[in-house]
Amino acid sequence: MDRRSLINAGLAALAGKAIIGKAMAAASPVPKQNADVSIENFSAAGKSLGVVRVARVTKSDDEWQRQLSAEAFWVTRRAGTERAFTGEYDENHADGLYRCICCATALYDSRAKFDSGTGWPSFWKPISALNVVKTADYDLGVERDAISCRLCDAHLGHVFDDGPRPTGLRYCMNSVALHFVPRA
């Protein structure tokens, strides 16, 4: 096999994998839009207020567009990604909580934030596993784990297994998907 044939075969394999991945993602069960969900509430000091069962937040695209900036809408509602090193929270070292920009659910505590050098705010764990959802993402032709808000389905970023101890995880989030609130 010559070099050109090898490259074409590789590109065809990647394209095929991307198509299969999208088909698999489309076939995944979609949660009921109006179903109740369980989340863990947190005070402004970061103390758990317990688990509550609440109605999932659902809005039309027009409602989300009125609430969010154009970039926040693109990231949270269309699974976009902001450019590295452009988000306001990558270099934020203040003490507090990171909440969902769409519904204010507590997502991350600054005490679990670390400098990953990637250009996005990174955390080694969410504030509560109940508040985030991990799903398969095949958009780049390879499987990645996308992270979204359980309450409103906002796309937040991705999780990778190259983080620090104790979890070894790196929750790589988009700044525009988050709202930082200083600890009370």
For the question of residue 102 being annotated catalytic, the response is no
> Minimal CA–CA distance to 148: which of 39, 26, 10, 45?
39
The one catalytic residue among 100, 149, 152, 172: 172
Q: Which two tokens stand for residue 21?
A: 């991945």
Separation of alpha carbons 102 and 134, rounded Å = 18
Strands (E), the chain: 36-42, 48-55, 96-100, 106-109, 113-114, 122-123, 132-137, 144-149, 155-160, 170-173, 178-182
Sign of CA dihedral 33, 39, 43, 45: negative
Q: Any idea which residues carry the catalytic annotation?
A: 172
